[in-house]
């Protein structure tokens, strides 16, 4: 892979991480999207090791929104399961 191809891959994966991180904020459905964003963030950090990444802000924002999405989705699933438990009782 040439340096320009590697740079293009880093930028594309950073933007994908951003997109998947935002999709991870969807209640009850965003868990998978958040996991994809975290995977893409780790790929970006490996690909850009030492090289400048002009889209690093997108990757970081995608990562943090993915973590927030995991937290919010965990709470939503917990509340849903708690509600279902009390309804069936």
pTM: 0.87
Percent of the chain with pLDDT over 90: 79
**DSSP line for the chain:** --HHHHHHHHHHHHHHHHHHHHHTTSTTT-HHHHHHHHHHHHHHHHHTTTS--TTHHHHHHHHHHHHHHHHHHHHHHHHHHHHHHHHH-
Confidence of residue 67 (pLDDT cuts 50, 70, 90): very high
Residue 64 CA, distance from chain mean position: 7
Statement: residue 84 has pLDDT above 90: yes
Give the residue extent of every domain in the chain: 3-88
**pLDDT the model gives residue 5:** 87
pLDDT category of residue 27 using cuts at 50, 70 and 90: confident
Computed over every residue of the chain, the mean pLDDT equals 93
């Amino acid at each position: 892979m040439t340096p320009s191809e590697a740079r293009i891959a880093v930028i594309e994966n950073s933007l994908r991480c951003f997109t998947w991180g935002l999709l991870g904020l969807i209640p009850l459905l965003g868990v998978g999207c958040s996991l994809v964003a975290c995977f893409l963030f780790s790929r970006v950090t490996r690909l850009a090791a030492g090289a400048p990444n002009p889209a690093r802000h997108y990757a970081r924002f995608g990562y943090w929104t993915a973590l927030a999405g995991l937290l919010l989705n965990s709470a939503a699933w917990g509340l849903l399961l708690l509600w279902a438990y009390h309804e069936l009782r």
